[in-house]
């Protein structure tokens, strides 16, 4: 028995769904804010630096929570104008990205520690900006490229 495969176009237009006309989409307002290492005016590194400027010190979990709330705010704006929302990074990838700033000397550990919300987790370690972190700009934009310019 041979099946007749359907294209994606057929799948999307089944059940009375209306397909968007590309000509109509051209005139909708759009936000062009990329996320991550792509060329953009909004980067997670700049958000982290701004967090330290506003709060003086913070732990990775608190910064991640604040960044998640900011992504949700941006996504609400993007959805209103018909753009695809950003995916929030998981905490594991965020903590690895956060560690690059420690390796570059942009942030440093403080003596402050707090218990985690669950007993099986490690204590929260707090960090603060260093003098290098205040003056540096390129490493906040892309910490991996700052260490490895050959990855361009």
Domains assigned to the chain: 43-147 (1.10.10.10)
In 3D, which of 114, 118, 128, 126 has the Cα closest to residue 56? 128
Cα radius of gyration (the chain): 21
Provide the sign of the torsion angle of the four alpha carbons 144, 97, 83, 70, taken in this order.
negative
**Among the ranges 69-73, 82-86, 144-148, which has the highest mean pLDDT value?**
69-73
Cα separation, 41 vs 35, in Å, equals 9
pTM listed for this prediction: 0.69
Express each pLDDT in 72-100 by its tens digit.
988 888 888 888 887 888 999 999 999 99
CA 122 to centroid of chain Cα atoms: 24
Contact indicator for 134, 107 with CB cutoff of 8 Å: no
Average pLDDT over residues 99-110: 94
């Amino acid at each position: 028995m041979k099946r007749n495969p359907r294209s994606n176009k057929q799948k999307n237009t089944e059940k009375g769904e209306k397909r968007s006309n590309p000509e109509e989409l051209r005139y909708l307002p759009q936000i062009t804010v990329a996320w991550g290492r792509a060329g953009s005016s909004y980067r997670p590194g700049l958000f982290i630096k701004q967090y330290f400027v506003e709060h003086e010190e913070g732990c990775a979990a608190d910064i991640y929570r604040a960044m998640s709330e900011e992504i949700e705010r941006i996504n609400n704006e993007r959805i209103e104008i018909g753009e695809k929302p950003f995916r929030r990074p998981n905490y594991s990838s965020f903590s690895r990205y956060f560690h690059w700033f420690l390796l570059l000397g942009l942030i440093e550990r403080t003596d402050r520690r707090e218990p985690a919300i669950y007993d099986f987790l490690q204590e929260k370690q707090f960090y603060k900006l260093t003098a290098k972190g205040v003056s540096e700009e390129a490493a906040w934009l892309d910490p991996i490229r700052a260490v490895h310019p050959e990855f361009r």
